Amino acid sequence: MNRRDLLRAAGCASLLPFVTTLVGLFPRVAQARVVAAFEAKTAREVLDALFGDASIQPTDAITFSAPDIAENGAAVPLEIRSTLEGIDTLVVVATENPRPLIASYRFSGHSGLPVELRIRLAGSQEVVLIARANGQLYRSSRLIQVTIGACGVA
């Protein structure tokens, strides 16, 4: 073994305690919920995986702009805004997509709304936003018409 290989191995070995500590910091239960939600086949399964049986209140405080009729479902623009204070979680669900969970955001005190994104829609359907603010869940939804769907069967 030459000197370079020895130094490289020692450097990698010295990083091992830090990497194992970082892996231990991530809560496995929360990760499992998000994985189950992204693998869900229906909107109800998504909501059950993320929020269980918690009650979700409809609200007008969360709004999103999107075209009423999208020409192509491959890239539908959304801009999400809210007047609610303390939003820490935001979930976007397309109810009729093969995989309904579009996005799941976690906000810190230094980040938050507005959020702009482009989503893929299989066809005309309801898009639902769920936000958690101050321990309460809020829901807003809108029907988006799509002339050409994007999630066709391969």
User: Tokens 């303390």 sit at which residue?
Assistant: 86
- ∠ Cα 120 90 130 (to 5°): 85
- 24 conformational bin, left if phi > 0, alpha if psi -120 to 50, beta if neither: alpha
pTM exceeds 0.85, yes or no? no
Q: What tokens appear for 117 in the block?
A: 């994104």
Using 50, 70 and 90 to split pLDDT, how confident is the model at 153? very low
What are the structure tokens assigned to 85, written together? 């204070």
**10: its two tokens:** 């020692």
pLDDT cut 90: percent of the chain above it: 56
Q: What does the pLDDT look like over 36-64, one tens digit per residue?
A: 888 999 999 999 999 998 999 999 999 99
Give residue for tokens 């969970």. 101
Instruction: Tell me, rounded to whole angstroms, the distance of Cα 145 from its chain centroid.
Output: 22
Average pLDDT, the chain: 83
CA 117 from centre of chain: 11
User: Where exactly does CATH 2.60.40.2470 map onto the chain?
Assistant: 54-146
pLDDT at 110: 73
60, 65, 69, 71: CA torsion to nearest 10: -150
Residue 31 predicted with pLDDT over 60 = no
Report whether pLDDT(29) > 60.
no
Across the range 5-31, mean pLDDT stands at 56
Lowest mean pLDDT among 19-28, 36-45, 88-97, 108-117: 19-28
Confidence tier at 154 by pLDDT (50, 70, 90): very low
The more confidently predicted of residues 44 and 154 is 44
**What fold does the segment set 54-146 form as a domain?**
Immunoglobulin-like (2.60.40)
* First and final C-alpha spacing in the chain: 51
